[in-house]
Every structure is written in C-alpha cells, then in structure tokens.
Amino acid sequence: MSYKEFGEAPVIIVDKGSVGIVETKYYTFAHPPNKFILDNGKTLGPITVAYETYGRLNPQRDNVILVEHALTASAHAAGKHHPEDKYPGWWDVMIGPGKAFDTTKYFVICSNILGSCYGTTGPSSINPETGRPYGLSFPMISIRDMVRVQRELVKHLGIKRIRSVVGGSMGGMQAIEWALLYPEMVDSIILIASAARTSPQSIAIHRVGIQAIMDDPNWNNGDYYGKAFPEKGLAIARMLGHITYLSDKWLWEKFGRKHTDPATMKLNLNSKFEIESYLEYQGTKFVKRFDANSYIYLLRSIDIYDAAEGYGSLKESFKRIRCKRVFVSSFSSDWLYPTYQSEEIVEALEANNIDVVYHEIKSPYGHDSFLLEYEILTPLITDFLNSI
C-alpha cells in the first residue's frame, strides 16, 4: 500500500490502477427565495448534489471528464471509501491510472443525479418547508433538469470547459443533453448503449414496474417514510427491470432450465428454476439500497425524454451540437436500447457534419455489456480521447 498525490489531497492507492480511497462531497445551492426553476415551471430548493472527483484538475482547467451514471447508480464511480470496502465504485474498471478515463491525465467528476437517493436531493429528502420527506410532493423532473443541476456543480468547481461527457444507458441521455444545452462547453460526448428517446417497449416495461410499487399495500401514496416500506412492489419492479439488462443467450449460458430442486418441479408451485431464484435475490438486494419513490421518478424521467423535443426531428435538434467528435457504441445483444437507436443518433450527427466514431460491439451480455465489456471499450475510448 502506498500514497500518491491525486486531486486536492493525497489518497491511499489500494490496488494497481485504483484511484484509492475517495470521499463523497456535497454542494448545496438554490436556497430560498432563489429556488431552482425546473423544466415544467415548478421550483425546488435548496438542492444538494453529492459528487466525487478523481485525478487532478490541470492549470488550464480543461482536462475534465464528466461521468453520467445510469438509473440506480451513485456518485461513487471509482475507488473505495475505506480500505475494508468489499466493492469499489460502480465503474472502477474504467476510471483510474492507465484505464480508459486515465486519472493521470484527466480530472474525472461523477455526481448523483437529481431525484435519486444517494445524497442528491430527491423524494426521500427532507422538505425544509414541512420537516418531512418530500414523497410525492417532490416535483416531476426531467433529464434536462438533471443536467442543469450538474451545470451548477461544474460552475461551482470553476470549470468552463469539459473534454468529454460520458454516459451509459440513461447516462448517455444526460451526455446528449449536455451537448445540446451547453454546446460551448463540451468538446466531445461518449454514448454507450443509450438512446435519444425511450421506446414504447421501455415505457411499457417501466409502467408495469411503477404499477407494482403503487399497488404495494405499504406504498401509502408515497408516504411510507418511517413506516412499513413497499418492499414487495419495489422488488417486483427491480426483477422486471433486471430482465431487460440481460440477454437470451446469456440466460441460457448462465442458468438454462436448471432447477433448484428437480424432484419437486411437478409437485410444488413454489419450486423454482434457478433464474427465478436469481431474480428474487436481485429484488431483495435492491430494496435494501434504493428508495421506491426515487425509482418511480427516475423511470418517468427516462420515459418522457426525447432529444428532439421542440425541434421536430433529431437532425434539427442536433444542429445545436458543437462537439469536435462524438463516440457512439451499441451492443449486439442489447434489447433495452438496441443498435437501431444508436444508429439513429449516428445518422442525425452525420447529417450535421459532426465527426462520429461508431462501434457495434458483439457481446452476449445484453444491456449490462456497458458495465461488463470494459476490456473492449477501454482501447476504443482511449484512442477516441487521444484524438480530441
């Protein structure tokens, strides 16, 4: 174990290629009466943003990589909070010395999105006007609102230019919005397994998950804080969502039709295939770490997202983008955000003479490929960033 200087203070390097021990920080703004005005005209404030940084900001303050997380992740993208941490940050394989987002070159920022429950203001936060959690009094939010909140954090950090905004899945939608809202700030964006709008299939799947939560007898119209938690509904919603992250091929290879107790298959309704036990495990694990109202709000923010909103077409909307280059990748087995949605983005970018690097990666892992295929993504992204 050794020490090395990163960012503003020395951190412990616990593994080769690790950013070491990191700290989640917080920034609060939009204090009343100067509340933040949301896309829908509602106001919210104060707003606290949880964030982490890795690497060192250069004197020109232009080596910034802004990492956007997906639906249920957090600001903790790399490193560990203490040496005994069992697991590092959710994208530790991509962020660190010598990795895709090399912290010896770049200053990497990841913030928890508005509406979440990992330190940034959301439905489970205390409403200062009532002294109780917001619950369903929390206003509806959009992907655009999340990006505008992140802009306040970036401004607070004294950053005026971003080398690249990168995101997988829902994070890619945020990256697109950065390029649309703040074209003068963003040199490039990296979109991995994402889309410019949500498909009817995804909206339908989200609706079933939301309904499962709302039909849980403990949901209590969102006012369950300090009471029985809607565990069953949230677990079912997560089980359904988790299916969309996988692929048919991977499920056959991992589980097939294996049964936990073949002798009871035809005797007991409660007997389970291994895939069923796996999904139940994922649902049970999820309810211990995530807020049901946040899950509903974030799913709806994805549903309503459309990068072409107000412009008639994606081609017209993308006329606002001023990036030097754009990286887009999809995965062959991803049916949540299938390849055709990445190709729609590429076509709209090329129609505006924006330099695009596109890769469809052959992978058996479904949508989760954006987290698992780091060995393929690393050299592709490294080459892309070196070209900016």
Nearest to 72 by CA among 197, 177, 203, 168: 168
Cβ pair 169, 370 in contact under 8 A: yes
**End-to-end Cα distance, the chain:** 34
Cβ pair 114, 301 in contact under 8 A: no
Q: Is the peptide bond before 33 cis (omega within 30 degrees of 0)?
A: yes
- In Å, what is the CA distance from 220 to each residue of 35, 217, 289, 293? 29, 7, 20, 11
CA 209 and chain centroid, separation: 18
- In Å, what is the CA distance from 367 to each residue of 31, 73, 138? 39, 15, 30
Cβ pair 79, 55 in contact under 8 A: no
Between CA 288 and CA 294, with CA 292 as vertex, the angle to 5 degrees is 110
How many Cβ atoms sit within 10 Å of the Cβ of residue 383? 11
Cβ pair 95, 54 in contact under 8 A: yes
- CA neighbours closer than 13 Å in the CB half-sphere of residue 381: 28
From CA 58, how far away is CA 7, in angstroms rounded?
Answer: 9
Cβ pair 365, 247 in contact under 8 A: yes
Q: Is the peptide bond before 46 cis (omega within 30 degrees of 0)?
A: yes
How many Cβ atoms sit within 10 Å of the Cβ of residue 358? 18
Which one-letter amino acid corresponds to residue 311? Y
Q: Among all residues, which ones are annotated catalytic?
A: 169, 334, 367
